[in-house]
Structure formats: C-alpha cells, structure tokens
C-alpha cells in the first residue's frame, strides 16, 4: 500500500465517521471532550479526585457514542474514563435552528 493509498483510506474513514456523527448526534444530550477522545452521551457524571497531590477526573458515561475511527463498535452502554487533563462537558441543544451541516466543509 502506498503512502497516497493510506492517506486516501484514512480520509475516507474520517469522512465515514463524520457522517455517522452527523446521523447520531441528535440522539444524545451531551458532548464530552477529553484529551484523547470525543464522546456523545445521554448521562454524564464527572468527579474530580485527587491522589498523592495529583488531581484527576473520573468520568462515567451512559449510552455513549465514541469518536474513534479505529473502533468497530462505537456505541457503548457504559464508559468509564480516567483523565489527568481538562474535561469539557456541554449539554446539546436540540433545536431545528441548530443543525449539523449535511456535507462536510473543505478538508473533510
């Protein structure tokens, strides 16, 4: 496989993932971003914890979808994430006025 073939394959996989995201985002209540992953979920619990002077976050997500091009099963019933970096949780607004674009812009 050439470098160009690999790049085309990765681009196609990202586009498929974007389309899947676009199709499922309306099913979820929250967007969760960690340093390694992006999730959609219907229930989110974030607990700040500390151990030996270090602060970390313990996240529990229910009914989640994981943005990961290499996962074959992106829908997950329960997810537990431990992260030492910032966590961003946003509640999604379900509105006809705010829609994910039907086609990705340039670069996707």
Residues of the chain with pLDDT under 70: 95-108
In a domain, 54, yes or no: yes
- Structural domain of 57: 3-90
Q: What are the Cα distances from residue 91, in Å, to 35, 94, 101?
A: 18, 9, 19
Does a structural domain hold residue 7? Answer: yes
How many whole angstroms separate alpha carbon 54 and alpha carbon 27?
35
Within 1-108, where are the H helices?
3-24
In a domain, 60, yes or no: yes
Question: What is the b/e burial string over 73-84, where b = at least 16 CB atoms within 10 angstroms of the residue's CB?
Answer: ebeeeebebeee
- pTM above threshold 0.85: no
- Count of domains in the chain? 1
Q: What is the pLDDT of residues 56-66, one digit of tens each?
A: 999 999 999 99
Q: Report angle CA 77, 81, 87 to the nearest 5 degrees.
A: 115
């Amino acid at each position: 496989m050439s470098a160009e073939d690999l790049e085309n394959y990765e681009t196609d996989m990202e586009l498929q993932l974007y389309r899947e995201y676009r199709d499922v985002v309306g099913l979820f209540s929250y967007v969760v971003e960690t340093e390694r992953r992006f999730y959609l979920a219907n229930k989110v619990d974030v607990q700040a914890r500390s151990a030996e002077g270090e602060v970390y976050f313990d996240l529990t997500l229910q009914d989640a979808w994981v943005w990961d091009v290499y996962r074959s099963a992106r829908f997950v019933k329960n997810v537990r994430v431990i992260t030492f970096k910032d966590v961003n949780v946003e509640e999604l607004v379900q509105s006809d006025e705010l829609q994910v674009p039907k086609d990705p812009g340039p670069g996707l």
